[in-house]
């Protein structure tokens, strides 16, 4: 498996991708890319169809990226479609340990001028989470 960089214009989003990416997610993702850089390449097929990373590609386009990192998967079309679904669904099946998350968010809150939206949270989200685990 090799990560390479290719022009964004060469990529073809999967037209029937069932995932939608609302503006609040895109805003957070763009801030995350700005804060952390590229940490997760876009997965594509040999003919450059996007299999995973549609939102990252959209964010890259909105941020004016010219090139993006990709990994090419050796999958026939039918398996690539199955992977599109698997990649989305398997992430949804995860559970969150809210106490551990709250502890980590408290640590992050100590970072001066850190924008919580870069990790998909707002300060209100953090306050609400902390209140939900704090005994009354």
As a whole number of angstroms, the distance between CA 130 and CA 65 comes to 37
3-state secondary structure of 124: helix
| Prediction pTM value | 0.86
Residue 44: which of 85, 73, 75 has the closest Cα?
73
The pLDDT of residue 83 is: 95
Look at residues 28, 69, 31, 34 and name the one whose alpha carbon lies nearest to residue 52.
69
- Total Cβ atoms within 10 A of residue 93: 6
- Residue 51 and residue 87 in contact, taking contact as beta carbons nearer than 8 Å: yes
Sheet architecture: strand order including 3-7: 3-7, 67-72, 42-44, 50-52
Give phi and psi for 124, each to the nearest 5. Answer: -65, -40
The whole-number pLDDT of residue 106 equals 84
Per-residue pLDDT of the chain (136 residues; tens, 9 = 90+): 899 999 999 999 999 999 999 999 999 999 999 999 999 999 999 999 999 999 999 999 999 999 999 999 999 999 999 999 999 899 889 998 988 988 888 888 888 988 888 998 887 887 888 777 766 5
Euclidean distance between CA atoms 32 and 116, whole angstroms? 9
């Amino acid at each position: 498996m090799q990560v390479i960089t290719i022009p964004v214009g060469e990529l073809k989003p999967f037209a029937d991708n069932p995932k939608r990416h609302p503006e609040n997610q895109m805003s957070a993702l763009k801030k995350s890319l700005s804060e952390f850089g590229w940490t997760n390449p876009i997965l594509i097929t040999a003919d450059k169809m996007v299999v995973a990373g549609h939102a990252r590609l959209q964010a890259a386009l909105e941020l004016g990226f010219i090139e993006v990192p990709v990994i090419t998967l050796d999958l026939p079309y039918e398996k690539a479609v199955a992977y599109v679904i698997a990649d989305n669904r398997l992430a949804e099946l995860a559970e969150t340990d809210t106490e551990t998350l709250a502890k980590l968010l408290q640590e992050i809150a100590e970072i001066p001028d850190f924008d919580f939206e870069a990790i998909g949270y707002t300060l209100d989200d953090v306050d609400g989470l902390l209140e939900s685990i704090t005994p009354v």
